[in-house]
Amino acid sequence: MEIAVFSAKPYDRQFLDAANADHAHRLRYLDDPLNADTAGLATGHRGVCIFVNDKADASVLEVLAHGGTQLVALRCTGFNNVDLQAAADLGIKVVRVVDYSPNSVAEHAVALLMAINRKVHRAYNRTRDFNFTLDGLMGFDLSGKTVAVIGTGKIGRVFARIMVGFGCNVIGYDAFPTPEFEALGARYADVGEIGANADIVSLHCPLTPQTYHVIGVDMLARAKPGALLINTSRGGLVDTEAVIEALRSGQLGGLAIDVYEQEADVFFRDLSGTIVDDDVLQRLMTFPNVIVTGHQAFLTREAVSTICETTLRSITEFETGQPLTNEIRVG
């Protein structure tokens, strides 16, 4: 089956090629992201394979359908970048990777937390210049601190388990509580308690209309002064302007993010030789208590291998007329 693979990076090609040995699909790799300007590149391809920042809105899907595309395969879990109703109306099936490696994202969240708390990024820059002073590098013990986990699905539970192992008091919030979270020795709490008591807040929920800017002016005002915020989920969960004000006032003690609300124009690209035309990101990066990584939390050998194998298996199911195990349906 002919597949146009958009936003294809070297690691995508390597792992997709390896997984494709069992499927023999014809993969055409495209460096370009999928959007209104590039959708025509998929003409003649029965399927397209896209990533988190590719755009599959109604207008793009119409171009894809006109060019013969019948399947959109997301090599990621989130699907907020796809207009599912438009896809259904056009007869385009949509599949995703439901589960790859919750450990990859949860462990990266822990790495960000440790780095921002113990000022590892600042220490690294100093010692590269042979500056071994310790002023300004003091952190705090995680043991005994209260960690709030917003979203207690698979990734959130792995993160919670690690935090329990550090000796933290772990509390959580989720619209759909699960006993597995409480079995870890954690407990659920209301928003007020999270704001008042959490020393650390880590986001692990999907981006929906209900969770959009869940971290905004009101939540930040209720936050415990000096709290740390970690986000490895979706950029739209955080109102970046509000966070900048909270950092400026000292209400927020630090921020470590792997996702950013306007990342589609920035992430997965080398912009080191250009002036980035994003004033919000520019301001954010001036704070010494901020760490930004470029949406790499998923990037482990185990996770990428599973993502590619699952994606190609879904494509084979479609090609052979089997039920689509990982299909996303409207409603």
Q: What is the 3-state secondary structure (H, E, C) of 225-263?
A: CCEEEEECCCHHHECHHHHHHHHHHCCEEEEEECCCCCH
φ, ψ dihedrals at 107, nearest 5°: -70, -35
Tell me the H-state helices in 95-177. 102-117, 120-128, 154-165
Tokens representing residue 309 in the block: 């194998």
For residues 329 and 310, give the distance between their C-alpha atoms in angstroms, rounded to a whole number: 18
Catalytic residue among 261, 263, 309, 317: 263
Residue 94, helix vs strand vs coil: strand
Residue 162, helix vs strand vs coil: helix
Enumerate residues 6+ apart whose C-beta is below 8 A from 310. Answer: 97, 98, 100, 326
Tokens representing residue 113 in the block: 């937390």
Neighbour tally for 172: CB within 10 Å: 26
Catalytic residue among 108, 234, 261, 317: 234
Under 8 Å between Cβ of 94 and 54: no
Residue 151, helix vs strand vs coil: coil
Under 8 Å between Cβ of 222 and 198: no
**Any catalytic annotation for residue 234?**
yes
For residues 111 and 163, give the distance between their C-alpha atoms in angstroms, rounded to a whole number: 12
Buried b (16+ CB within 10 A) or exposed e, 28-57: bbbeebbbeebbebbeebbbbbbbbbbbbe
**Any catalytic annotation for residue 213?**
no
For residues 213 and 199, give the distance between their C-alpha atoms in angstroms, rounded to a whole number: 20
Catalytic residue among 157, 295, 313, 317: 295
Which residues are tagged catalytic? 234, 263, 295
